[in-house]
Structure 1
Amino acid sequence: MSAEMLSTLCRVPVPSGAVMSADGRRIAYVLTTVDEDADAYHRAVWTVDADGGAPRFCTDGSSPAWSPDGRQLAVLREDQLWLIDPDTGDERQLTDRELGAGAAAWSPDGTRIAFSAAVELTRDDGTPYAAGDPVVTRRLGYRDGGLRGYRRPHLFVIELATGVTTQLTDGDWSAHSPVWSPDGTRLAFAGLQDARTDNSLSTAPFVLTPGDEPTRVGTEDMLRALTWAPDGEALIMARLAPRSETQPRLLRVPLDGSAPTDLLAEIDFGSTLATPTTTQDGRVLTTVNEHATTRVYELDPLRPITDEEQLWITALSAATTRAAITYASLDTYGEVATLDLVTGVRKVLTSYTADALHDLDWARPEPRTFQISEGTTVSGWLFQAEGPGPLLLDIHGGPHGWWAPLMQLGYPYQLALAAAGWSVLLLNPRGSDGFGDDFHAAVYAEQGFGDAPDLLEPIDQLVAEGIADPDRLAVAGYSYGGYMTNWLTAHTTRFRAAVSGGGMCDLVSLGGTADVGVGMMDLIYGGTDPAVLRPQSPYETVRDVRTPTLILHGADDDRSPVGQAEQWFAALHTQQIETELVLYPGAGHLFLSSGRPSHRLDYSRRTFTWLTDRV
């Protein structure tokens, strides 16, 4: 039953990236399905009427963007930009670049499209670098997004009437994610221009008028999303906070150099780092993470629009009185809906998960809170089986991630274990986003030490309640969850089995080998001083591990390089601890959501089998 269930769950179609036409009549979105023959995900653009009706296939591709008049869609297909008429099917190829193109940004008058695209740098004498040439660097960030060698993203504009494409930026720096000013005269974009910049964690906002040199706006960096204020006098940017001092912020950054304004200062919650959306009448909306549930807010003045519990919104695009969203919940991996911007009422337009799983019954977790001895309240979700019985503690990534109330796309083994009579505990320990700035910052430079009680003491409470059998406990996690799995098994022998996915064990080497290593050390772990990093590294106490451990890792992971998994495996194997290392060829850090479908299924199957065979 578990094998069949996992296979079924991994084939569910999932919509994402909903965008609403300016007149509010139609919604375009991307539908991701599994092509089992090609062992690949297939992405196509679909449309649906905002008032309801059957969804319609538009074209293969992704990243749809409506023209200002709502008649055409610009989409990415096979890494090139195309213009599609969703009514007639007429299409026109806009780019034919050897290295591909990025998503379209329409000018307000609909006559131009801005985009970013990779550019090959040249030597000082103007000759191009050849494939296989040595990569020479004098700064960090050379592995950011993979070993890019001599390629950099830069900005371009297409004049739709003539098809003429003009490059706007160039040089040994990066420019991407363009967005037009409300009057169509300027472009804001995310850039890495300073040669001292370490990596993408230092991305900053820039503005340029086509034909002029770009100008950096403000002093803020760590940019993650960017748009214009409706008056064109400022940018609105979502950013990470240095040293994890606060949750992600949403700032209004004036072009005149005056001080930025924190647009979420009135609430103790942070941005989801999604790009804010502007209605046709000039209102700006954004999504906020409140207790691992998405709330939609109108900005300036700050006003909540939604109060629905147990919902995670993955895309928001507004017109006038309503917006388009894609969302996930405990009942779906993803659906498309409209959101009334006056009442906050959601109208669901699709039923992809229900249609795919109509013969499958799956468990829903219940919310739980736990009082920790240090005085902290920790919340989470529990798939509760009849007890006392086996329990899996599954740890989220981050550390500033969170378990939200939704079907977890990359972790279908949770539902399979629940169906097999396991309890599965999903906790949001200190450091998780969505629970206030103090909670977010509580474990800075104290990873492992600070959050371990938040993970272990709830298990004690579930044992006392007769839910968990103390002799049948397991632990698993991915990314930071893999790091904490390693940490816990190096500090306690209470777990009968462990699964460490995409994890880390040696922070000293991680800082120098990860694609954003130095920035990540500063953001989370307290800097690059080995004296600070070693106590937080599970490898320092690997000699104390006794738990049979399955190690799963993408072979091409640049965020948590594969050497972290190999180092942990070698140490356990040398100590004669039962262990197994599984490497997924070609898989990066996000392979559970965007890699090969067979790898996602294999990951869950191995996790399920390793745990059920040993606990």
Structure 2
Amino acid sequence: MTDPTDARPAAPRPTDPLDARQAASRTTDPTDVHQAAAPTRDPLDVHQALAGVRYPESVSLHPDGDRVACVIDGVAHVVTLDGVLEAVGDCQGPVRWLPDGRLLRTPSPSELAVEGWRARVDGEIEDLIPGEDGTVLVRLADPGSDRDGSHLGLRVPDESDPFVLTPGGRLRRLAWFELGDDRPHEIVLPGLTVWDADWRDRRALAVTSEDETPAGYYRPRLDLVEDGEVRTLHRTSWQLSRPRLAPGGRTAVVVEGLSIVSGRVLRADLVTGEVAYLGELDDVTDLGWLDDQTLWFTGWSGTGVHGGVLDAADGRVLSRWTARGTLGGRDGQPSLSADRAGTVAAACWESPELPPEVAVAVLGEGEWRPVTALNAGLAGLAVHQEETTWTGRDGLPISGLLLTTPEHGDTTPEHGAGPRPLVVMVHGGPTWLWSSSFAPAESNQLAVPLAHAGAAVLLPNPRGSSGRGQDYARAVIGQAGEADLDDVLAGVDHLVATGVADPDRVAIMGLSYGGYLTAWAVTRTDRFRAAVVMSGVSDWLSFSTASNLAGGFDPLYHAGADPATAEGRERLAARSPVHHAAKAAKAATPTLILHGERDRTTPPGQAEQLYRAWSAAGVSTQLVLYPREGHELVEPAHRRDAAQRVIGWLTGGGVL
């Protein structure tokens, strides 16, 4: 019998953006991480080359499992399993296969279309969920509504002048279409905004909140909408994602976890109303029904991913695989698409040796094989990645990724690599992680360029991170900036003690919560020669009223510290870098601050407060504000400028 994943990739693009001759002379066996290590290159050239990575988004497998749809650079494509790639048309949102095999796409942010039919909605389409009955559910966001932090901390574009906000006035909503009919049917959810949804037999299962801002995402509920009636199935102080209605209509599942949700599976009996965890499986980020008895799942596993098949009755794991790499998906979480028979899966797959590509696998085995070669010319930029483990102050094992470019992947002095500059890059969240990927994207995709500059780059996953279960993820609650920072500093000590890092040339940087830990570290230790704070929090007090997610984030991660009370304000200030500027002055760590002018997740006032506090205390600092940018930089000129400034700052600080 033919293995459907035994497909040959399309012919690679012939030119390495930096040096085609050098790439052609290299061994390309992706299983040999030592041979995959690239020689040192100019980090700015590497950063510029990585800016050309093409990411296949919204990967959707045809019901028959013989082709895959995806969106590449704003165009819908279909690729066969033997690597034939064909452009279909403009696509500014998701793309989905209908049960009858036709392709549904979004030609513009407010349009959906399939073979001669096109309809428009009043808002921006965030998701399309086809039904089995010739209908499609549309999840859309009103113009002017807040995006969450995973969507750059910006608003959905709205050109109204003046721009007016009223509570409950800018929502995420649901509507559905009969295919062929251009009139949408609104699903009325009074006073609720919708974060995620599923659709089956003209019933909607939705993750909702009363608060229309991203803060509401931290206080969600699970609602079933049927015949115009809304029934709440579950409320939680954790977060929910990926609601899924079962065939037959009796049960539903949803993932319950922390923040950008990685967690356990909840099963809801729609007849009795009983809701309970389904088995012990953890760190699930996506799942779907194969039939009314079984589910497929995927998610994080350490710094890699896992997936397989789950019994929907008792939660038994029927098959499970793990893989060293990353499955790209919505909100950056592992996601995949399965065929109708439940045998083949498709996803955007990348590994330390392989840039992102559309790939397929046997659903129960997880051996991912690329069927595109969108980024073949970048393979020569791969660096050596290894998982490294150390012990936290209390004895808890902590791990992370170490990126280097030694001649043969060696990181020990006896092999000639010697102690080298160390750059510690702290991830955001805090419930997020660094995963095994070709070029980790957070913090302006600088991890690989800095490794090419000759540094050892540590990507730590301290307590609070995903990939190690809910107990590990929740260990940061009420302890922000305490044990998690200790875990990061212990990782530095470990690399110094093992001869990997030069203790006199160590820098720290991070984005979002990672930016907070960076600024906080400057008030706690003088071991860093330079620091870079990107879109960071500097004052939890002002964050509690200015951020679009603070009303949810603060009660969760600060364990209920209430800024309306003197005790709450004291607790928030105690962990805010701006209130410890004198300690930063004593450490005297030069600090570069980068921030987007339109960031609503960590508003630019956070950067301005830090700059004023540090400069008033005599700390060497510089603030760079990027116009039009949100929580992360996206404009190519700004990304280049930020890379130049970071590398210049680390060089000037004596780290590189």
Q: State the TM-score, normalized to the length of structure 2.
A: 0.80
| Cα distance, 1:380 vs structure 2 | 1.0
Report what 2:147 is aligned to: none
**Farther-moved stretch of structure 1 (410-419 vs 374-383):** 410-419
Query: Which of 499, 511, 525 matches 1:492?
Result: 525
Q: 1:196 to 1:484 in 2, by over 3 A?
A: closer
Shift of 1:98: 4.8
Partner residue of 1:78 out of 92, 103, 108: 108
Q: Corresponding residue for 1:60?
A: 90
1:563 maps to which residue? 605
- Render the CA deviation track for 1:390-423: whole Å, top value 9, x for unaligned: 1111111111111111121244322222112111
| Aligned position for 2:72 | 31
Could you say what secondary structure the match of 1:63 adopts? coil
Q: Is residue 538 of structure 1 aligned with residue 577 of structure 2?
A: yes
Deviation at 1:214, TM superposition (A): 2.3
Distance 1:77 1:208, change over 3 A: same
| Corresponding residue for residue 179 of structure 2 | 160
Q: 2:423 aligns with which of 378, 392, 414?
A: 392
| Greater displacement, 337-346 / 15-24 | 337-346
Secondary structure (helix, strand or coil) at the match of 1:421 reads coil
CA distance in 2 between partners of 1:551 and 1:542 (Å):
15
1:578 deviation in Å?
A: 1.2
1:135 partnered with 2:158: no
Residues 187-223 of structure 1: per-residue CA shift (max 9 Å, x gap)? 222323489996222232222235x232222334632
What are the within-5 Å matches in structure 2 for residues 271-350 of structure 1?
A: 271-272=284-285, 274=286, 276-279=287-290, 283-300=294-311, 301-314=316-329, 315-319=335-339, 320=341, 321-350=343-372
My pick for the range that moved more, 75-84 or 185-194, is: 185-194
State the Cα distance separating 1:610 from its structure 2 match: 1.1
Gaps of at least 5 residues in structure 2 are: 1-41, 145-158, 330-334, 407-416, 563-567
How big is the shift at 1:112? 1.8
Secondary structure at the aligned position of 1:498 is classed as: strand
Alignment map for 1:5-404 (pairs within 5 Å)? 5-32=46-73, 43-49=74-80, 51-61=81-91, 62-70=93-101, 72-85=102-115, 91-95=116-120, 97-109=121-133, 111-118=134-141, 131-132=161-162, 134-137=164-167, 150-169=169-188, 171-175=190-194, 177-181=196-200, 184-193=201-210, 199-210=216-227, 212-220=228-236, 222-241=239-258, 248-263=263-278, 265-267=279-281, 269-272=282-285, 274=286, 276-279=287-290, 283-300=294-311, 301-314=316-329, 315-319=335-339, 320=341, 321-355=343-377, 357=378, 360-384=380-404, 386-404=417-435
Aligned residues: 564
Q: 1:390 to 1:349 in 2, by over 3 A?
A: same
Describe the SS at the equivalent of 1:7. helix
Partner of 2:466, secondary structure, is: coil
For residues 51-106 of structure 1, give each alpha carbon's deviation from its aligned partner in whole angstroms, at most 9, with x where no partner exists: 32221111111300111011x21111221333244xxxxx43221x4534443222
Retained in 2: the 8 A contact 1:155–1:176? no
Structure 1 residue 118: Cα displacement: 4.4
CA contact (8 A) 2:352 2:383 kept: no
Task: Please name the residue that 1:146 is paired with.
Answer: none
Q: Which amino acid aligns with 1:574?
A: A
Aligned match of 1:585 in 616, 621, 627? Answer: 627
- Equivalent-residue separation in structure 2 for 1:518 and 1:260 (angstroms): 27
Q: Does 1:408 align with 2:408?
A: no
Please state whether the residue corresponding to 2:127 is helix, strand or coil: coil
Secondary structure at the counterpart of residue 519 of structure 2: helix
- Given the superposition, is the C-alpha separation of residues 179 and 460 from structure 1 closer, same or farther in structure 2, using an over 3 Å criterion? closer
Deviations 1:533-554 (CA, angstroms, capped at 9, x unpaired): 2222222322111110000111
Superposition RMSD in Å: 2.7
C-alpha change, 1:461 and 1:168, in structure 2 (3 Å) is closer
Shift of 1:611: 0.8
Q: Which amino acid aligns with 1:135?
A: L
Corresponding residue for residue 32 of structure 2: none
Q: Secondary structure at the match of 1:164?
A: coil
Q: Is the 8 A contact 1:333 1:409 kept in 2?
A: no
Q: What percent of counterpart residues are identical?
A: 28
CA-CA distance at 1:18 after TM superposition: 1.1
